[in-house]
Amino acid sequence: MPGWRWSWTPPGTGTWSWSPSTTWADGREGQVSATIEPEIGWVQEGLDHLATLVDPSLPGWSRTGFSVQDVEGRHWVAQQMRAAGLSTHVDAVGNVIGTFEGTAPAAPAIVVGSHSDTVPGGGRFDGIVGVLGAIEVARALRRTGTRLTHELRIVDFANEEGNPQGVKLVGSRAIAGTLGHDHLQATDEGGVSLADLISRAGHSPEKVHTCRWDRAGLAAYLELHIEQGPVLERNGAGIGVVTRVCGISTFHLDVHGRRDHAGTTPMDTRSDAMCCGAAAVLAVQRIAAAGSDTVGTVGALTTTSPLTNVISNFARVTGEFRSPHMAGLRALAEELEADIPRLDAAHRTTSSLSWGHTDPPAVMDRHLSDVVVGAAATVGHEAVRLYSGATHDSVQMSQLAPAGMIFVPSAGGRSHCPEEWTELTDIERGVRVLIQAVLDVDTGFAGS
C-alpha cells in the first residue's frame, strides 16, 4: 500500500499565464491559450486534512455518510468554501452548497461538485478530489480576479456512497427531486430509517422538498473524479471524459429451507437454505460474466441460524447488477429470475426474488463532453472517452442539466479500498482541465 506520503508545501501564488508554448510538468510541449493554474498545494492540504477525519473503529479511511466524521468533514468543507469567497448554505438533507455570483444575475448556474463521504473501509480520493477540485476552481477565479458571467455553484453532495438502508446518491437525489418517501423510510437491520439517520446528523429530512432545484436555473453540471478502474492507466492516458454512467439494479433473494439436525439428515434429503443461497451467489457471478460490460456483485449472504449443527431454514442474498444499458439490466434480471426455480429444485428450497431500486444508466451530455475534451486540449492534454462502471452524483444531476465528468487515473485501477491512490500530478492535471472547462462553459456552451 502506498504510504500517505504527501507533505504540505506552502501555496504558491496563483497566476494567469499566457504563453504560445508551455512545457508541462510531464515534459510535454503544448500550445496553450490563457489558462488559470490551480494551487495544487492547497488541494494536497485538503486531502491530508480530510484523511485525519476518519472513523477509528473502521478500516481504511472511513467517513461514512452522516457519521460524526462526515459532519465534521463537511463543516470543514463549508469553511473552505467561505474562505474561497463563496456564500454557503446546508440544505435539509445536508448538501453543502457554495455560490459565487456571476456578472449576469439572470444567467443559469454552472454547477461543479462531488462528495466527501466514503464507503466503510474506503480510500482518500473517491469524491474528495472532486470536492476539493471544485473549491479550487472558485479559489483560482478569486485569485486571478476572474468573474464568470454565470453563477458558479459548488456542491459537496450528502452521502453519495449509500448507507445500511441501501440508498445511494442521497444528496443529489434530493436536489433532483427523486429522493422519495420509500427511500427515506427504508430501514437498516436495526430498524433505523434513512430519515432517522439524516435527522441524527442534525438535518431535516421532512423538508426534503425544499432541497429540489429548478432545472431552468442550471446551465451545466461538471464533476471531477478519480476513475476507480484501470482504463486510463492501461492506456497511458491522463484525462478521461465520461460517456455514460452505469445503471444499477439491486435485489435480495429470500431462500426458505427446512431446519433439521446437521448430523443426522442425509445430504440428499436436506432443504438447506444456505446452500441454495451460495449457489445463487455463483449464479449472479456467472450471469454477469456472460454479459457485455455487465457486472454483478453479492454484498451479503446472511442466515438466521448461524450454527454448524443446524441446517439453515433461511438465507438472504443481497446483491446488485450494473450495466451501461437498460436492456442489459433487464436481461440480467430475467436470467436471474429464470435461474431461481432451477436452484430451488436442486436444493429443495422455496425462494422469492425482490428487486429494490433500479437507477437507469445516465448518458453524459455529448456537447458538454466535447467542451471538456476541448478544455483538456487547451491545457495540453488529449482526453480519452470512457464508460463509468461506478455510479456518481452526475446520474441524478443529468436529470436537471447537461452533465459531464472528468476522470483522472487510479493507481492499479483500485478503489473502495484503503489502497486507493491517485498521484498529485494526475489530480493537478484534472483540476486544470476542470478550471478550463468551467471557463469554456461560461463563455461558449449553449446547452444541448
Q: Binding site for Zn(2+): residue ranges?
A: 115, 126, 161, 225, 416
φ, ψ of residue 363 to 5 degrees: the values are: -95, 130
* 390 touching ligand GLV, by CB under 6 A: yes
Nearer to ligand GLV, 176 or 441 (CB): 176
User: Quick one: what does residue 369 bind among ligand GLV, Mn ion, none, with the CB cut-off 5 to 8 Å set by partner type?
Assistant: none
From the list 226, 236, 235, the residue with the least C-alpha distance to 424 is 226
CB 393 within 8 A of CB 112: no
Minimum distance from CB of 129 to ligand GLV (Å)?
13
Exposure string for 32-68, b = 16+ CB within 10 A, e = fewer: beebbbbbbbbbbbbbeebbebbbeebebbbbbbbbe
User: Nearest 10 degrees: CA dihedral of 219, 157, 212, 216?
Assistant: 0
Q: How many CB atoms lie within 10 A of CB 224?
A: 28
* 223 touching ligand GLV, by CB under 6 A: no
* Rounded distance between C-alpha atoms, residue 247 and residue 169, angstroms: 13
DSSP string, 80-105: HHHHTT-EEEE-TT--EEEEE--SST
- Of 39, 45, 156, 161, the one binding ligand GLV (CB under 6 A) is 161
* Rounded distance between C-alpha atoms, residue 173 and residue 70, angstroms: 18
Task: Report how many residues bind ligand GLV under the rule CB under 6 A.
Answer: 4
CB 408 within 8 A of CB 427: yes
Binding residues: 115, 126, 161, 225, 416
Nearer to ligand GLV, 226 or 437 (CB): 226
Enumerate residues 6+ apart whose C-beta is below 8 A from 28.
Answer: 380
Rg of the chain over all Cα atoms, to the nearest angstrom: 23
Nearer to ligand GLV, 278 or 403 (CB): 403
Using CB under 5 A as the criterion, which residues of the chain lie in contact with Mn ion when the complex forms?
Answer: 126-127
Minimum distance from CB of 399 to ligand GLV (Å)?
18
Minimum distance from CB of 16 to ligand GLV (Å)?
36
User: Quick one: what does residue 391 bind among ligand GLV, Mn ion, none, with the CB cut-off 5 to 8 Å set by partner type?
Assistant: ligand GLV
Minimum distance from CB of 161 to ligand GLV (Å)?
6
Nearer to ligand GLV, 176 or 273 (CB): 176
* 391 touching ligand GLV, by CB under 6 A: yes
* Rounded distance between C-alpha atoms, residue 11 and residue 44, angstroms: 10
Nearer to Mn ion, 65 or 296 (CB): 65
* 378 touching ligand GLV, by CB under 6 A: no
Minimum distance from CB of 299 to ligand GLV (Å)?
11
Minimum distance from CB of 171 to ligand GLV (Å)?
13
Task: Name the residue with the smallest CB distance to ligand GLV.
Answer: 390
Residues found near ligand GLV in the complex (CB under 6 A): 161, 168, 390-391
